[in-house]
Chain A
Amino acid sequence: MNIFQLVLKQMRQRALSTWLTLLSVMLGVALAVVIMLIRRESAVLFGQTDYGFDIIVGAKASSLQLVMNTVYHIDRSPGNIPYSVYKQLTESPQFRPAVRMAVPTAVGDSYQGQRIVGTIPQLFGMEDDGITPIPANRTMQYRPGKRYEIAQGRVFHGQKFEAVIGADITKLTGLKLGDIFKATHGLPKPGETPDIHGEEWTVVGVLKETGTAADRVLYISLPSFYAMSGHDYAMKAQAAIRQGIDTSRANAPGPTTAYDVRPDGTIELHLPESDWALSAVLVKSRSPFFASQMMYVMNNGQQAAAVNPASVMREFFNTFLQPTTRAWGAVAYLVNAVAIVAILVSIYNSVAARIREIAILRALGATRRRVMLTICLEAGLIGLAGGVLGIAAGHLLGALVSGYFQQTIGEGIRWWIVSREEWLYLLSVTVVSMLAGLVPAMKAYRTPVADNLAGV
């Protein structure tokens, strides 16, 4: 019988105490691991330096909200900007040279809880007709080197009631290529009666999976977005407020329909372009220099704010996530310290109860050091086994967190990756457990053999 078998047998003998100690170590390590995981992965998730576009132009409000809303499709839009901002970006001599590409987006409606985004076919690399490709260097990327691609069908026509859906939409809503759907105003909460617009869109394309929030979005053409009943009205009022015009005049009943559909299916909006509103414009600048210059000019103006999504997210990460995870990390260390004290106490008690057995082992020829080693090994094994289980449990928790992220921002985390940091943590938990074993081991070490053999 070797020393390991001896230790394992003794652990089995007091299985309940062993399991409970193991459990406490497991919980501590799981907590630490899931925190490491979240810290590591949120750094990846939110620490991206390149979103494929380097500027988001939107309402002058919370820049974090703007980024969250535009990139991750969570939170409400912080407000609207006039369509003219987009026009300026692409046409004015001031901005035009700095902008490689700009894509307008408008949000505010949903289909079965999934967001609808009004935009232009150029986001997907096509001209307005939805079928003619634009030069690759002018195509928007959602991640460095990654462009949206069509899995089925084609990109929507820029002027028709057509939609392209994200890869997860079919799974989430049942909508397939060729299906027709209606939009719901806003994002009704559960139990709220949805306010469904009368217009109908045809799904003409399904996007390939991107692994981003875009997988959960239904994209429609911008004019079709504006055509939705009520939008015209609201935008008109907003435009009126912006221009300082008496709103009561804007509230006067307009034409009964907001649009007409031409024979070829394209939309003729009655609403003048000056009343169009956008939630944001994604901009790919020609260089970081142009980008910062443009942001400066934009931010000094009245109409809109321009932010760099990477730096906004980095700041969010540094000022909020990082300290939070650090605090949780401290909690995890504490839990681990408690777990290791639990090992110490449990083994100390077991040694106290086993003094006679230890004396017997000594009489059979076990040296003091051997006995000490047995006890430290037992402590270390509990630390190791608890640690391994803890890493497994931590990653399962990580999978849950990933699922939650997937739900909210459309991007999961790589919960299965066991980092070097975790292995080091396991090692240190094992070593510290063994050291904790030294306390009971010393007790065993000092046990006088002769005295403890006497008893019956």
Chain B
Amino acid sequence: MAVTLDSVFKQYVAPDGSAVPVIHIPKFALLPGEHVALIGTSGSGKTTLLHLIAGILVPDRGRIVFSGTRDDARGSGSAVVPYSTPPGLGREVDISQLSEARRDVFRGQNIGYIFQTHHLLGGFTALENVQLGMSFTGRRVDVGWATHLLTAVGLADRMHYKPGKLSVGQQQRVAVARALANRPLLVLADEPTGALDPANAQQVLDLIRTLCTEVGASLLLVTHDMTIANQLPRQVMLGELNQPQVK
């Protein structure tokens, strides 16, 4: 699935009421299956951009267009049952034009999101957290795939552990498995290795890339760590892409 940003503008309202422009991206494209590292300083708007692409936030202006949907991108996988396609998804979807509920459903079906901290639900086991990732798509929960993912991230023997009983690295690996639960076409990772030591960081990065490749997902990975960024085929500096002060 390709994502194209076209004149995307987003500003926040500061507590004093003044406008804080954060994002103004004239043009950016992510190709199907492409793995891209997005590099930027703290407070430069990386998280805001990922939220915009995920439809958690909507831009004030501009288009964020997804093309190459699940239908034409790939045949239905092992246990992925057909699901109802939001109107217009057959060709191109501008997520900023969808209603909030549609954006939520679209995100659930097409986008996997990995946060800096694991953001797992404490009351649920690793396996349940992954299944939870499958719960909002309207599709059947595929336990086999959830097990496969947890095995792939090396947690076959930790599936019934709750997050509190896992190490930070293990928690983040569960989060990776959860992000891949719906065989997304796009994975957004917001500093996924930021809280990990180098060895764990490397392991998590490898797992993200391997699994994205396995399901054919595009990957946009935010980092400020160049040793991480340099391992990806393409690096994008948000500072160069983004001109928030220019209207």
User: Which residues of chain B come closer than 8 Å to A208, judged between CB atoms?
Assistant: none
Check B101–A367 contact: CB distance below 8 A: yes
How far is the CB of A12 from the nearest CB of chain B, in Å?
Answer: 7
Instruction: Produce 1/0 per residue, B94-111, CB < 8 A to A.
Output: 000000110011011100
Task: Let me know if A13 is at the binding interface, CB within 8 A.
Answer: yes
CB-CB under 8 A for A456 and B135, given A9-B124, A13-B123, A364-B108: no
Task: Let me know if A360 is at the binding interface, CB within 8 A.
Answer: yes
Task: Let me know if A40 is at the binding interface, CB within 8 A.
Answer: no
A370: nearest chain-B partner, CB-CB: B136
B101 is contacted by which of A3, A9, A369 (Cβ under 8 Å)?
A369
CB-CB under 8 A for A450 and B56, given A12-B123, A363-B113: yes
Check B116–A456 contact: CB distance below 8 A: yes
A454 to B46, CA, bound (A): 12
A12 to B48, CA, bound (A): 35
Q: Which of A342-356 contact B (CB under 8 A)?
A: 356
Check B136–A366 contact: CB distance below 8 A: yes
Check B123–A363 contact: CB distance below 8 A: no
A423 to B113, CA, bound (A): 46
Task: Let me know if B244 is at the binding interface, CB within 8 A.
Answer: no
A356: nearest chain-B partner, CB-CB: B119
A365 is contacted by which of B48, B115, B121, B136 (Cβ under 8 Å)?
B136
User: Which residues of chain B come closer than 8 Å to A61, judged between CB atoms?
Assistant: none
Q: Which of A190-234 contact B (CB under 8 A)?
A: none
User: Residue among A10, A357, A453, A454 with the most chain B CB within 10 A?
Assistant: A453
A351 to B56, CA, bound (A): 20
Task: Let me know if B209 is at the binding interface, CB within 8 A.
Answer: no
A357 to B124, CA, bound (A): 11
| Partner-contacting stretch, out of B69-77, B125-133, B216-224 | B125-133
Q: Which of B35-63 contact A (CB under 8 A)?
A: 47-48, 51, 54, 56-57
CB-CB under 8 A for A363 and B56, given A1-B135, A1-B141, A10-B123: yes
Q: Which of A401-456 contact B (CB under 8 A)?
A: 449-450, 453-454, 456
Task: Let me know if A2 is at the binding interface, CB within 8 A.
Answer: yes
Check B101–A368 contact: CB distance below 8 A: yes
Task: Let me know if B137 is at the binding interface, CB within 8 A.
Answer: yes
CB-CB under 8 A for A6 and B101, given A1-B141, A366-B108: no
A242 to B128, CA, bound (A): 90
Interface size for B (C-beta < 8 A) is 33
User: Which residues of chain A come closer than 8 Å to B115, judged between CB atoms?
Assistant: 453
Check A1–B105 contact: CB distance below 8 A: no
A356 to B118, CA, bound (A): 12
Task: Let me know if A60 is at the binding interface, CB within 8 A.
Answer: no
Task: Let me know if A362 is at the binding interface, CB within 8 A.
Answer: yes
Q: Which of B53-93 contact A (CB under 8 A)?
A: 54, 56-57
CB-CB under 8 A for A362 and B104, given A453-B56, A456-B117: yes
How far is the CB of B227 from the nearest CB of chain A, in Å?
Answer: 23
Task: Let me know if B134 is at the binding interface, CB within 8 A.
Answer: yes
Contact count band on A: 20 to 34
A361 to B105, CA, bound (A): 12
Check A364–B123 contact: CB distance below 8 A: no
Check A2–B135 contact: CB distance below 8 A: yes
CB-CB under 8 A for A6 and B132, given A363-B54, A450-B56: yes
User: Which residues of chain A come closer than 8 Å to B182, judged between CB atoms?
Assistant: 365
Check A365–B56 contact: CB distance below 8 A: no
User: Which residues of chain A come closer than 8 Å to B134, judged between CB atoms?
Assistant: 1
User: Which residues of chain A come closer than 8 Å to B108, judged between CB atoms?
Assistant: 364-366
Check A361–B132 contact: CB distance below 8 A: yes
Instruction: Produce 1/0 per residue, B117-158, CB < 8 A to A.
Output: 101011110001001111111000100000000000000000
A282 to B136, CA, bound (A): 75
How far is the CB of B179 from the nearest CB of chain A, in Å?
Answer: 9
A363 is contacted by which of B107, B116, B135 (Cβ under 8 Å)?
B107
Check B47–A454 contact: CB distance below 8 A: yes
A360: nearest chain-B partner, CB-CB: B119
Q: Which of B175-231 contact A (CB under 8 A)?
A: 178, 182
A126 to B237, CA, bound (A): 112
How far is the CB of B7 from the nearest CB of chain A, in Å?
Answer: 21
Check B107–A1 contact: CB distance below 8 A: no
How far is the CB of A279 from the nearest CB of chain B, in Å?
Answer: 70
Check B135–A9 contact: CB distance below 8 A: no
B104 is contacted by which of A2, A6, A12, A366 (Cβ under 8 Å)?
A366
User: Residue among B54, B115, B122, B135 with the most chain A CB within 10 A?
Assistant: B135
CB-CB under 8 A for A360 and B56, given A1-B128, A1-B134: no
A1 to B143, CA, bound (A): 10
What are 15 A-B residue pairs whose CB atoms fall within 8 Å in the complex? A1-B132, A1-B141, A357-B122, A361-B121, A362-B56, A362-B104, A364-B113, A364-B133, A364-B178, A365-B105, A365-B109, A365-B136, A365-B137, A366-B135, A367-B101
Give the 10 A-B CB pairs with smallest separation, nearest first: A365-B108, A13-B123, A365-B136, A367-B104, A367-B101, A1-B131, A366-B136, A1-B135, A450-B51, A360-B119
- Supplied contacts A9-B124, A368-B100, 11 more A-B pairs, CB within 8 Å: A2-B135, A13-B123, A360-B119, A361-B121, A363-B107, A363-B113, A364-B113, A364-B133, A366-B104, A366-B135, A366-B136
Chain B contacts to A: CB under 8 angstroms: 47-48, 51, 54, 56-57, 100-101, 104-105, 107-109, 113, 115-117, 119, 121-124, 128, 131-137, 141, 178, 182
Chain A contacts to B: CB under 8 angstroms: 1-3, 6, 9-10, 12-13, 356-357, 360-370, 449-450, 453-454, 456
